[in-house]
Structure 1
Amino acid sequence: MLSYAVKIALTALLVVAVSEIAKRNTLWAAALAALPLTSVLAFVWMWVDGVEMERIASLSTSILWLVIPSLLLFVLLPLLLRAGWSFWSSLGLSCLATALAYGGVVLVLDRLGMAR
């Protein structure tokens, strides 16, 4: 139970740090958010929990493929905001488009036998 509390606390600390830094400097907040810290934390927690190395390697490869459709969010959101869309509409459409792109990539990876 203590390990879950530590995992939650560290992960929450990262999210709060990004949002607080963004109030002062968006470039530094973006640099912190862009680091694959969530992935690194997941790899560390898996290793600490005794997960086999092949599962960690598989997760890393899956993350690599799913980074590609996630870029759609960061392209579409600023385009919509700058086009005069409201924040919530822009965010909603960007998230929907990204989710659909994720689904497409997962289907392709599954068909190619690369999803486990």
Structure 2
Amino acid sequence: MWQIIAKAALAGAMIAAIAEIGKRLPAMAALVASLPLVSVLGMLFLWRARPDTENMARHSEATFWFVLPSLPMFLAIPMMLRAGMPFWLSLTLGCALTVGLYLLMVQFGPRIGIRL
């Protein structure tokens, strides 16, 4: 149980650090947020729980393919904000776009040979 609490505290600390950095240096916060820290930590925790090379390879590869559908959100949100849309609506629509693209990836990825 303490491991779950430690993982949650670490994730929370990362998010808090990004928010604090972003108050003064938005580009630096974006850089920190873009680092694959969560993925690397997830791989470390997964390896510790199940040190299986093939499982880790599949996890890493699937992570790559699932990052791609999330990227358009980071262009759509600033476009909507600059067009005068409210922040919460822009964020909601950006997230909805990402969910839609994830669903497309899950549906069509395996059909074109992508292992998820």
TM-score bin, normalised by smaller chain: over 0.9
**CA distance in structure 2 between the partners assigned to 1:70 and 1:86 by the alignment:** 21
Deviates most, 83-92 or 46-55: 46-55
Number of aligned residue pairs: 116
Q: How does 1:37-116 map to 2 (within 5 A)?
A: 37-112=37-112, 114-116=114-116
Structure 1 position 113, deviation (Å) = 5.3
TM-score under structure 1 length normalisation? 0.92
- For the residue of structure 1 that corresponds to 2:50, the secondary structure is coil
Structure 1 position 108, deviation (Å) = 1.4
Q: CA RMSD in A?
A: 1.3
Identity of aligned residues (%): 38
**CA distance in structure 2 between the partners assigned to 1:90 and 1:114 by the alignment:** 30
Contact kept? 1:22, 1:30, Cα under 8 Å: yes
> What's 1:15 paired with?
15
Structure 1 moving runs of 4+ over 3 Å: 112-116
Unaligned runs of 5+ in 1: none
C-alpha distance after superposition, 1:61-81 (max 9, x if no partner): 011111111111101000000
> Which structure is richer in relative contact order (CA contacts within 8 A, separation 6 or more)?
2
- For the residue of structure 1 that corresponds to 2:47, the secondary structure is helix
- For the residue of structure 1 that corresponds to 2:10, the secondary structure is helix
Structure 1 position 24, deviation (Å) = 1.1
Deviates most, 13-22 or 46-55: 46-55
